Amino acid sequence: MSIESVKNTIAGGRAVLGIELGSTRIKAVLIGEDNSPIASGGHDWENRYENGIWTYSLDDIWTGLQDCYAKLRADVMTKYGVAVEKLASIGFSAMMHGYMAFDENGELLVPFRTWRNTVTGPASEALTELFNYHIPQRWSIAHLYQAVLNGEPHVPEVRFFTTLAGYIHWKLTGEKVLGVGEASGMFPIDIHTKNFNAEMIVKFDGAVADKGYPWKLGDILPKVLLAGEKAGVLTEEGAKLLDPSGTLRPGVPLCPPEGDAGTGMAATNSVAPRTGNVSAGTSVFAMIVLEKELSAVYDAIDLVTTPVGDLVAMVHCNNCTSDINAWVNIFKEFSELLGVDISMPKLYDELYFRAMEGDPDCGGLMSYCYFSGEHITGFEEGRPLFVRTPESKFNLANFMRSHLYTSMGALKIGLDILLGKEGVKVDSILGHGGFFKTVGVGQKIVAAAMNAPVSVMETAGEGGAWGMALLAAYMVNKAPGQSLKSYLENKVFAGNKGVSISPDPADVEGFNKFIERYSAALPVERAAVECIK
């Protein structure tokens, strides 16, 4: 779009805004009528650890959101010389899960408990058994039930509880709603009704019946909506809350608030069955849209949904590139010692490309990238570890390849359940995140781990705020009856499948040999955790 056409789009109120509140950054992206970003704003923030709880204060939330939006407004004025007075639609997303509970007056009862807290173990285990459905510790219902088990005095006063995205949407519109993808991180979704699972709600009410609470679970949960449905409008009070300057007019329609998983699916065009995406950076997770429900309950697999309510299997691992980054920094230090000036991007590229010259099974080398615990392999703590036998083929290529492989090690174990034991079929996987920056290398590693083609698109780097803007645009711009899948394929990505790399059979075989040694040597990692304090 030309600058003049963008100016007309903004002045005419046809631009769409998406805002996502991530763990360390709040980001706003404004898109034009071709769904491309035309302006952005950001605000860095950090969670606090207070009284044993990871939290953000309400002041953190609102000052951060207002600063992010103010920077977006400033970016628009700088680039185009126009003010943002009206918008076609707005969407909010945020880190999923967590617990925000309110009383009958809408007052927060306890500080916001984020997804990062691991204080709900007993509740997670009890609810998983009660529902015969995996309930991770970070889910909202686990936080509520743990408060019940703890006998916390605020529980009888709860009249509504929600997530961060749901809270912001409520305050800006007055509507207590959630998009189905975000809702699936609060409480299990019935994929047939596209709503909270009614049978499980009854089971939960039965489990707490002896407490005599003046509420039933169904009465304090938000309403579930699907992508494309209307979720309220920006009120006059909400407009002033988002934009204290008073420039933004009320009345803007809002789409259902979503979680960062759903916006990631939208931003990578991974919403259809048999599609998926892998996000790899400091941590790594894979999401695959399922054709049917799994045959059993697995601790390694979380079940969430797409923004339209299709079932998604998620494998989430805490550790990915931190150990690689540490080793690259060692090589950087060595190069500086020799007086060699080499940029970090070039150093990463050279080391990653050298890894591709190594043996497919890493020549017998073994490493673990566990900076922290890893639930899939049963570790509450981690120790980065490298080990080899005297007979191993110890060279730079195999050394780097082992670190790339191990970054996908825990993920591979979880994915083997889906792709092997459950027979889940995948037609396309899209990779995004820092692991894929060196062209072709991360793709080859993940393709070998999953034995499936992996693609990377330039737009994947736009992030969740862009994905949220796409969902907001879908609500107001879709054709009658047009599915989200069709809208993304035809209006956003227009057949752009990205650059795809198919798995090399030798790499697949080599990765499988590596993962056998990886699994067998886990007691070595356990010994390191127990002995190195």
pLDDT at residue 496 tops 80: no
Q: What is the pLDDT of residues 29-52, one digit of tens each?
A: 999 999 999 999 999 999 998 998
pLDDT at residue 462 tops 80: no
Locus of tokens 């099974």: 361
Locus of tokens 């009528």: 33
Q: What is the pLDDT of residues 131-183, one digit of tens each?
A: 999 999 999 999 999 999 999 999 999 999 999 999 999 999 999 999 999 99
**How many angstroms separate the CA atoms of 413 and 109, rounded?**
40
Between 105-109, 292-296, 512-516, the lowest mean confidence (pLDDT) is in: 292-296
pLDDT at residue 129 tops 80: yes
Strand bridging mode 284-289 / 275-280: antiparallel
- Compute φ and ψ for 460, nearest 5 degrees: -60, -25
Q: What is the DSSP letter of 101?
A: E
Cβ atoms 366, 402 nearer than 8 A: yes
DSSP, collapsed to helix, strand or coil, labels residue 452 as coil
Locus of tokens 């069955």: 273
- On average, the pLDDT of the chain sits at 95
Cβ atoms 385, 519 nearer than 8 A: no
pLDDT at residue 460 tops 70: no
Cβ atoms 179, 262 nearer than 8 A: yes
For residue 18, what are the β-bridge partners?
29, 91
CA-to-CA separations, 116 to 107, 143, 182, 321, 461, in angstroms, rounded: 23, 11, 16, 19, 24
Residue 353 identity (one-letter amino acid)? F
For residue 99, what are the β-bridge partners?
113
H or E element that contains 298: none
Q: Of 104 and 498, which is predicted with more confidence?
A: 104
Average pLDDT over residues 373-382: 87
pLDDT at residue 228 tops 90: yes
Q: What is the pLDDT of residues 431-440, one digit of tens each?
A: 888 899 899 9
Average pLDDT over residues 349-363: 98
pLDDT of residue 318: 85
For 496, residues 6+ apart whose C-beta sits below 8 A from its C-beta are 457, 459
Cβ atoms 133, 199 nearer than 8 A: no
DSSP, collapsed to helix, strand or coil, labels residue 374 as strand
Other C-beta atoms lying within 10 Å of the C-beta of residue 380: 10
pLDDT of residue 107: 98
**How many angstroms separate the CA atoms of 163 and 177, rounded?**
10
- Structural domains in the chain? 270-456+503-533 (3.30.420.40)
pLDDT of residue 494: 86
Q: What is the pLDDT of residues 74-98, one digit of tens each?
A: 999 999 999 999 999 999 999 999 9
Q: What is the pLDDT of residues 243-286, one digit of tens each?
A: 999 999 999 999 999 999 999 899 989 999 999 999 888 888 89
Other C-beta atoms lying within 10 Å of the C-beta of residue 53: 17
Cβ atoms 454, 501 nearer than 8 A: yes
Residue 379 identity (one-letter amino acid)? F
Count of positions (residues) in the chain: 533
pTM score, whole prediction? 0.88
Proportion of the chain above pLDDT 70, given as a percent = 99
Q: What is the DSSP letter of 314?
A: E
Residue 529 identity (one-letter amino acid)? V
pLDDT at residue 529 tops 70: yes
pLDDT of residue 117: 85
pLDDT at residue 355 tops 70: yes
**How many angstroms separate the CA atoms of 125 and 133, rounded?**
10
CA-to-CA separations, 242 to 73, 171, 177, 200, in angstroms, rounded: 11, 10, 18, 36
Q: What is the pLDDT of residues 8-21, one digit of tens each?
A: 999 999 999 999 99
pLDDT of residue 461: 59
48, two tokens: 């606090």
Cβ atoms 29, 465 nearer than 8 A: yes
Residue 295's pLDDT band (cuts 50, 70, 90): very high
pLDDT of residue 350: 97
In angstroms, how far is CA 509 from the centroid of its own chain?
30
Locus of tokens 């009465």: 219
pLDDT of residue 497: 67
Cβ atoms 382, 370 nearer than 8 A: yes
Q: In 3D, which of 385, 508, 494 has the Cα closest to residue 448?
A: 508
DSSP, collapsed to helix, strand or coil, labels residue 242 as helix
pLDDT of residue 23: 84
**How many angstroms separate the CA atoms of 472 and 467, rounded?**
9
**How many angstroms separate the CA atoms of 21 and 36, rounded?**
20
In angstroms, how far is CA 256 from the centroid of its own chain?
17
Cβ atoms 218, 196 nearer than 8 A: yes
